[in-house]
């Protein structure tokens, strides 16, 4: 039997609703895996668990949200021998899982990934910290990591909206920046910053129509809305067309991006739904292809070149 470790976040909403874990073992055993569930006990615990796993593990499944997946990937990157990982969505937003074609049924999702294909996946970095699909900064973005956990447990995705409504009275912060991309230096004033390796962010599908997860590139979007109505208009346009075609958004596809804020940001970057605290005003982004993931076949041809 092959060896599988399931790293499960017990705080994820769908995990708490499970009546039995036996279904996990039954499905995995059918596919030739001897499985063991290991529960996280706090922030960064998934990283530690993966980092300390034995080399004979054939598959590591991240059962949680995007934040749990980030921790699993981070732990894997710290290993000398990288393990094959997979994502089983059990969280609130699950942007990565939706992009790959997962459903809301965890049993069906487990079958989808076990019948899937192994792919080399690009991993992005902000300075020396990896992220799976998004690093973003701007007003309201902090609701991804500041929304109280008890609200998320009770209301799910609606909790983010409830928290965001509390912030609507705030003025929109604009930042003067200098940045370097594709060997060229630029400057400007922007309100929102997105560095992504995903076709879905914050629950919005197909923000980019031609993204690839193995092209050694990532996408940069710098947005300059000045008022709340402009933000709303831009959000509507993002749901209707490719981000790079939306007025007010400066777009790049690149493999290296450097940005310097002339005034220190008032909020932290958000990476994969979690806070990335930093005292710096300069940040450097890059991408490397270091891990293999087992993903459903449904969107594999669309998302991968190889």
276 SS3 class: strand
pLDDT at 207: 78
Task: Give the confidence band of 144 by pLDDT, cuts at 50, 70, 90.
Answer: low
Task: Give the confidence band of 25 by pLDDT, cuts at 50, 70, 90.
Answer: confident
Residues 202 and 231: beta-carbon distance below 8 Å: no
Residues 195 and 126: beta-carbon distance below 8 Å: yes
Contacts of 184 (CB under 8 A, 6+ apart): none
The region of weakest confidence among 19-33, 47-61, 145-159, 194-208 is 145-159
Same domain for 88 and 7: yes
CATH code of the domain covering residue 60: 3.40.50.10330
Task: Give the confidence band of 151 by pLDDT, cuts at 50, 70, 90.
Answer: very low
pLDDT at 81: 94
The answer to whether position 111 is within a domain reads yes
**CA-to-CA distance for 122 and 71, rounded, in angstroms?**
16
Residue with the larger pLDDT of the pair 276 and 16: 276
pLDDT tens profile 76-119: 999 999 999 999 988 666 788 888 999 888 889 999 999 999 99
Same domain for 35 and 104: yes
Crossing angle of helices 106-114 and 22-30, rounded to 10°:
20
Contacts of 55 (CB under 8 A, 6+ apart): 81
Residue 48 has pLDDT above 60, yes or no: yes
**CA-to-CA distance for 60 and 72, rounded, in angstroms?**
8
pLDDT at 15: 55
Task: Give the confidence band of 124 by pLDDT, cuts at 50, 70, 90.
Answer: very high
pLDDT at 220: 95
Chosen domain end from 87, 115, 143: 115
Mean pLDDT estimate for the chain = 85
Of 144, 156, 80, the closest CA to residue 274 belongs to 144
Instruction: Measure Cα distances from 284 to 8, 77, 136, 265 in Å.
Output: 32, 19, 13, 15
Same domain for 179 and 221: yes
Same domain for 153 and 11: no
Residues 65 and 9: beta-carbon distance below 8 Å: yes
| Domain span at 82 | 2-115
**CA-to-CA distance for 218 and 1, rounded, in angstroms?**
38
pLDDT at 56: 95
Same domain for 159 and 109: no
Mean pLDDT score, 210-230: 89
Task: Give the confidence band of 20 by pLDDT, cuts at 50, 70, 90.
Answer: low
Residue 6 has pLDDT above 50, yes or no: yes
Of 53, 56, 60, 4, the closest CA to residue 31 belongs to 4
Q: Give backbone dihedrals phi and psi of 149, rounded to 5 degrees, phi first.
A: -60, -35
DSSP 1: -
The maximal CA–CA distance of the chain, rounded, in angstroms, is 58
The answer to whether position 89 is within a domain reads yes
Place of tokens 């909403």: 13
How many helical (H) and strand (E) elements, i.e. helices and strands, does the chain have?
A: 11, 16
Same domain for 198 and 235: yes
Same domain for 196 and 278: yes
């Amino acid at each position: 039997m092959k060896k599988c470790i399931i790293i499960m976040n017990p705080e994820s909403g769908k995990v708490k609703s499970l009546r039995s874990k036996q279904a996990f073992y039954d499905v995995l055993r059918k596919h030739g895996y001897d499985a063991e569930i290991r529960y996280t006990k706090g922030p960064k615990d998934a990283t530690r668990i993966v980092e300390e796993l034995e080399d004979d593990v054939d598959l590591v499944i991240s059962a949680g949200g995007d934040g749990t997946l980030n921790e699993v990937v981070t732990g894997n990157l710290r290993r000398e021998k990288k393990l094959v990982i997979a994502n089983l969505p059990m969280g609130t937003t699950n942007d990565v899982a939706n992009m790959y074609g997962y459903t809301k049924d965890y049993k069906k999702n487990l079958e989808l990934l076990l019948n899937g294909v192994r792919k080399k996946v690009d991993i992005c970095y902000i300075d020396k910290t990896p992220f799976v699909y998004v690093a973003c900064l701007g007003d309201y973005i902090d609701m991804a990591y500041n929304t109280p956990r008890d609200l998320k447990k009770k209301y799910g995705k609606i909790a983010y909206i409830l928290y965001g409504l509390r912030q609507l009275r705030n003025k929109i912060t604009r930042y003067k920046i200098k940045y370097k991309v594709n060997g060229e230096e630029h400057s400007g004033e922007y309100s929102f910053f997105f560095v992504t390796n995903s076709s879905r962010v914050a629950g919005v599908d197909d923000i980019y129509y031609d993204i690839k997860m193995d092209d050694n590139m990532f996408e940069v979007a710098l947005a300059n809305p000045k008022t709340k109505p402009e933000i709303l208009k831009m959000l509507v346009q993002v749901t209707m067309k490719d981000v790079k075609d939306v007025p007010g958004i400066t777009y790049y596809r690149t493999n290296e991006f450097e940005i310097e804020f002339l005034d220190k940001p008032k909020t932290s970057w958000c990476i994969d739904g979690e806070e990335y605290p930093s005292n710096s005003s300069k940040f450097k982004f890059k991408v490397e292809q270091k891990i293999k993931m087992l993903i459903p076949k449904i969107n594999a041809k669309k998302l991968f070149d190889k």
